C-alpha cells in the first residue's frame, strides 16, 4: 500500500497511446515512470492494456494480481486497493487484467462509462496517498479503455474540454471493392466512424453541461467526390460528413458547434495508399484532378481547422469545408 504523501496538488495525468502495437508505447510509459521516480516523484502507472506488458515488465506476474484495473473500472474499486508497489522506489502500478478485453460490452449501458478511471483518480487525489504523476499505458486501439485514459488525462489536466478534433483516420489499399478483406473494412469503419461515436459519448455530456464547445471532424473530399478503388474509405468519409451535419443540428441548442474539414489528397503517409503506388505517373494523374495544381499540405488543413474552431466562426456549424484546391467544384 502506498505511504502517505505530502503532495497536495492533483496528479499530472499522461496517457501514452498509439493506434498500433509494437511501437514502444509500454516501454515509454515504464521508462518515463522510472525516470520520474528516480528524481523523487511519486508515480503511478495504470496498465490499461489487456496484454499486461507493463505489469509484467515491472515485476507483477499475473498470478499475483489480486485487484486490477478491471476491478477499478468495472466494480469501482479504489486506486489505493489496486496499486501495487514495484521494486522501483517511488513507483506503483495498477496491474492489467485479460478480462479488460470485454469491458466495452460489460459497460455498454453503464453510467459514466468513459469516466470510470477519471473518477477513481479524482477520488484518490483527495486521499493521503496521492501521486505526483499518473502514466496510463493504453491498448493499441481507440476503444472504451483508451477513451477512459483520454478523459482522465484531458480533464484532470486541462479542466473543461473546449475543442474536440476527431483526426484519426485510416484507409484500405487501393483496389476493387470486392477485394478488400473484412479485417481491413472493419478497421476503416472502427477508426474513421466508430471513433467519432465513442468520442462523442465520452465528451459531449461535458460540453452540454458547460453550454459551449466545438467539435471538428477531419473528413475528406472522398466523401463528396469519390475516387475509384477506394470505395469503403469513400463511404466512411461520407458517413463522417453526414454525422457532422446531424450532430450540428442536435447540439446547436446546447451551444456546441460541429464542423468538418474535407482535405484533398496531401503529402501525408496515407498518400501512397490512396494512389496504390507512389510513382511520378500516378502523382501526375492525381494532380490533374486538382485545379490549383498541387497536393495539400498539413498547414492548409491546420489553417482551416483553426478558423472553424475559433470564435471568428461562432456562427458556423454543420459545415463540411473543402480544402481541395478546387477539386470538388
Do the domains 1-159 and 160-329 sit in the same CATH topology, yes or no? yes
**What's residue 179's pLDDT?**
95
pLDDT digits (tens, 9 = 90+) for 232-273: 999 999 999 999 999 999 999 999 999 999 999 887 767 777
Task: Tell me, yes or no, if 115 is annotated catalytic.
Answer: no
CA distance linking residue 214 with residue 254, whole number of Å = 11
**What's residue 97's pLDDT?**
86
Which of 70, 115, 131, 233 is catalytic? The answer is 233
**What's residue 4's pLDDT?**
46
To the nearest whole percent, how much of the chain has pLDDT over 70? 93
**What's residue 151's pLDDT?**
84
CA distance linking residue 20 with residue 23, whole number of Å = 7
**What's residue 90's pLDDT?**
95
- Tell me the pTM: 0.67
pLDDT digits (tens, 9 = 90+) for 149-172: 888 887 655 556 799 999 988 889
Task: Break the chain into its structural domains and give their ranges.
Answer: 1-159, 160-329
Nearest residue to 62 via CA among 45, 84, 79, 80: 84
**What's residue 110's pLDDT?**
80
Length of the chain: 329
Spans in the chain with pLDDT lower than 70? 1-9, 125-129, 155-160, 269
CATH classification number, 1-159, choose in 1.10.1060.10, 3.40.50.300, 3.40.50.261, 2.60.40.60: 3.40.50.300
**What's residue 272's pLDDT?**
73
Nearest 5 degrees, angle CA 110-CA 115-CA 117? 110
The CATH code of domain 160-329 reads: 3.40.50.720
How would you write the chain as a 3-class SS string? Answer: CCCCCCCCCCCEEEEECCCCCCCCHHHHHHHHHHHHHHCCCCEEEEECCCCCHHHHHCCCCHHHCCCCHHHHHHCCCCHHHHCEECCCCCEEEECCCHHHHHHHHHCCCCCCCCCHHHHHHHHHHCCCCCCCEEEEECCCCCCHHHHHHHHHHHHHHHCCCCEEEECCCCCCCCCCHHHCCHHHHHHHHHHHHHHHHHHHHHHHHHHHHHCCEEEEEECCHHHCCCCCCCHHHHHHHHHHHHHHHHHHHHHHHHCEEEEEEEECCECCCCHHHHHCCCCHHHHHHHHCCCCCCCCECHHHHHHHHHHHCCHHHCCCCCCEEEECCCCCC
CA distance linking residue 281 with residue 273, whole number of Å = 15
Amino acid at each position: 500500500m502506498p505511504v502517505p504523501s505530502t503532495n497536495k496538488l492533483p496528479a499530472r495525468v499522461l496517457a501514452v497511446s498509439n493506434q498500433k502495437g509494437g511501437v514502444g508505447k509500454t516501454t515509454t510509459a515504464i521508462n518515463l515512470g522510472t525516470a520520474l521516480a528516480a528524481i523523487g516523484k511519486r508515480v503511478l502507472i495504470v496498465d490499461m492494456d489487456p496484454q499486461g506488458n507493463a505489469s509484467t515488465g515491472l515485476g507483477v506476474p499475473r498470478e499475483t494480481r489480486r485487484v486490477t484495473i478491471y476491478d477499478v473500472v468495472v466494480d469501482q474499486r479504489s486506486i489505493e486497493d489496486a496499486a501495487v508497489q514495484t521494486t522501483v522506489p517511488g513507483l506503483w502500478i495498477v496491474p492489467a487484467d485479460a478480462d479488460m478485453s470485454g469491458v466495452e460490452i460489460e459497460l455498454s449501458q453503464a453510467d459514466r462509462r468513459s469516466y470510470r478511471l477519471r473518477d477513481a483518480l479524482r477520488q484518490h487525489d483527495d486521499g493521503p496517498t496521492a501521486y505526483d504523476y499518473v502514466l496510463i499505458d493504453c491498448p493499441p486501439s481507440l476503444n472504451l479503455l483508451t477513451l477512459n485514459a483520454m478523459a482522465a488525462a484531458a480533464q484532470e489536466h486541462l479542466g473543461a474540454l473546449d475543442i474536440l478534433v476527431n483526426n484519426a483516420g485510416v484507409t484500405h489499399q487501393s483496389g476493387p471493392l470486392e477485394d478488400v478483406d473484412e479485417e481491413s473494412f472493419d478497421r476503416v469503419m472502427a477508426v474513421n466512424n466508430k471513433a467519432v461515436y465513442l468520442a462523442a459519448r465520452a465528451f459531449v455530456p461535458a460540453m452540454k453541461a458547460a453550454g459551449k464547445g466545438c467539435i471538428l471532424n477531419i473528413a475528406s473530399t472522398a466523401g463528396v467526390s469519390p475516387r475509384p478503388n477506394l470505395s469503403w474509405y469513400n463511404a466512411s468519409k461520407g458517413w463522417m460528413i453526414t454525422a457532422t451535419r446531424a450532430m450540428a443540428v442536435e447540439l446547436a441548442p446546447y451551444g456546441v458547434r460541429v464542423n468538418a474539414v474535407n482535405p484533398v489528397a496531401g503529402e501525408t503517409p496515407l498518400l501512397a495508399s490512396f494512389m496504390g503506388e507512389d510513382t511520378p505517373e500516378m502523382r501526375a494523374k492525381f494532380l490533374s484532378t486538382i485545379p490549383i495544381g498541387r497536393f495539400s499540405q498539413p498547414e492548409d488543413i491546420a489553417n482551416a481547422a483553426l478558423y472553424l474552431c475559433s470564435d471568428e466562426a461562432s456562427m458556423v456549424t454543420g459545415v463540411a469545408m473543402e480544402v481541395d484546391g478546387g477539386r470538388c467544384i
